[in-house]
Amino acid sequence: MNLSEWLLIGVARALLPVIQALPMSRVATLGRLGGSVAWLLDRRHRRVALDNLRAVFPHLDDAARTSLARENFRRIGENYACGMRAATLSWPELQPHLELGNLDLLHTTLAAHPERSVILALGHFGAFELFTWTRVAVPGIPLATTYRALRQETATRLLLDLRRRSGCHFFERRRDARALRETLRSKRILLGLLADQHDGRGVRVPFLGREAGTSTAPALLALRYHCPLLTAFCFRTSHARWRIEIGDLIPTRDPDGSRRTLAAIARDMNQSFERAVRRDPANWFWVHRRWKPAPAPAPSPAISPAHPFPNPARPAPASAAAAPHPRS
C-alpha cells in the first residue's frame, strides 16, 4: 500500500467518528461540500463526467452540462457521507430520511413465487447503500449482495464493518461464488446486484444510445435458479432524503417457457436503467467510464497457400497415410 492510500484510509478513520456524531442533515451538507472540493481537484473524474454527459445529452450547452456534472459530484459526496452516517442508525432514526415507496411490484412478485429468491438489478443511483433497509418492507426474507474487495485490506475491513451493521449478508465476488450458489439453492433471499457499470465480460447492448458492456450476472442467476428479476432504484427527493422504488419486472423467459437470451434480458434491464437516469440525471454515477470500447478480436491464425489448415494437426496427405512406418 502506498503513502497516499495510507493517508486516505487514515483520513476516513479520523472523519468517521465525527460524521457518525452529527445529524444527518449536517452530514449531507458536509458531503456536498466534499463533492464540491472533489469537483475542483479531481480533474480525471471531472473530465469523465463531462465526456459522458456530452455524449448522452448533446442538446445541452456546455454551461448546462457543467452545472449538471457539478451537482452530480455534490450528490455523490452527499450519498457517501450519509451512507456512513446511516450505518449506525436504527430504522426509527433513519425513517425521516428514507421512504420505502412503490414496492407493490416486489410484494406481488414475492407472493407469486413463495419458494423462490428474488434478484434485484441495482444501479449507482442516489444513496444506493440504503437498499439494505428494504428488509423493513420484507420481514423474514434475508437480504444479500456482492462486493469486490479493495486492494487495501484495511479499507475493505473498514467498509465491511460499516455495511454488515445493516444486517445484509455480503459475498465477495471472486472468493464467495460457491457460497452464494449454495445460499440460492438452500434459502429464499432478496439478492441485490449492481449491474449498471462497464463489464468487459458481459454482453454489449445499447445503453443511453450507445453500445455498452453490460453485466449478465442478474440474468444468469435468475435463469439458473428460476428467480424473478426486478430492477430497483434510489432517488434523492430533497436534502438528506431519499426514496427507494422498484422499477420493472424483467422477463427471463418467453411466453412459451423457453429461456430468453442473456442479451435480450440485459437490453431490457438497461432500458429500465435509462428511464431512471432520464428521470433525474444528476442522481446517477457519471464519473464512471461506462462506455469503454469493445476489446479487440483475437487475431486469426495465419493461413498460407501451401498449408490451408490453420490447425497444425491437419489431415495427412493420402500418400503419407499409406506409407509404412519404419521399424524401431
Provide the b/e sequence for 92-117 (b: ≥16 CB within 10 Å): eebeebbebeebebbeebbeeeeebb
Q: What is the mean pLDDT of the chain?
A: 87
Asked, for residue 5, whether it belongs to a domain, the answer is no
Taking residues 103-129, what's their average pLDDT? Answer: 96
Asked, for residue 307, whether it belongs to a domain, the answer is no
Taking residues 267-275, what's their average pLDDT? Answer: 98
Taking residues 130-155, what's their average pLDDT? Answer: 84
- Does the pLDDT of residue 316 top 70, yes or no? no
Higher pLDDT, 167 or 274: 274
Query: Considering the chain, what percentage of its residues have pLDDT values greater than 90?
Result: 72
The pLDDT score that the predictor gives to residue 88 is 86
Angle between helices 3-19 and 153-164 (to 10 degrees): 20
The pLDDT score that the predictor gives to residue 15 is 75
Asked, for residue 8, whether it belongs to a domain, the answer is no
- Does the pLDDT of residue 81 top 50, yes or no? yes
Taking residues 118-140, what's their average pLDDT? Answer: 95
The pLDDT score that the predictor gives to residue 322 is 38
- Does the pLDDT of residue 288 top 60, yes or no? yes
Per DSSP, 175 falls in state T
- Does the pLDDT of residue 8 top 70, yes or no? no
Asked, for residue 288, whether it belongs to a domain, the answer is no
Residues 6+ apart with CB under 8 A from 277: 208, 283, 284
Q: Measuring CA to CA, which residue among 13, 146, 128 is closest to residue 79?
A: 128
Q: Considering only 38-52, 214-228, 310-324, which range has the smallest mean pLDDT?
A: 310-324
The pLDDT score that the predictor gives to residue 120 is 98
Containing domain of residue 187, as a range? 19-283
Task: Specify the number of domains making up the chain.
Answer: 1
The pLDDT score that the predictor gives to residue 323 is 39
Asked, for residue 131, whether it belongs to a domain, the answer is yes
pTM, 2 dp: 0.85
Q: Is 71 helix (H, G, I), strand (E, B) or coil?
A: helix
Higher pLDDT, 48 or 306: 48
* Grid cell 428514507 in the structure block, residue: 98
Confidence of residue 295 (pLDDT cuts 50, 70, 90): confident
Asked, for residue 183, whether it belongs to a domain, the answer is yes
Asked, for residue 228, whether it belongs to a domain, the answer is yes
- Does the pLDDT of residue 112 top 60, yes or no? yes
- Does the pLDDT of residue 298 top 70, yes or no? no
Confidence of residue 12 (pLDDT cuts 50, 70, 90): low
Asked, for residue 126, whether it belongs to a domain, the answer is yes
The pLDDT score that the predictor gives to residue 148 is 79
Render pLDDT for 47-67 as a digit per residue (tens, 0 to 9).
999 999 999 999 999 999 999
- Does the pLDDT of residue 166 top 90, yes or no? no
- Does the pLDDT of residue 314 top 50, yes or no? no
Q: Measuring CA to CA, which residue among 197, 202, 76 is closest to residue 128?
A: 76
The pLDDT score that the predictor gives to residue 279 is 98
- Does the pLDDT of residue 308 top 50, yes or no? no
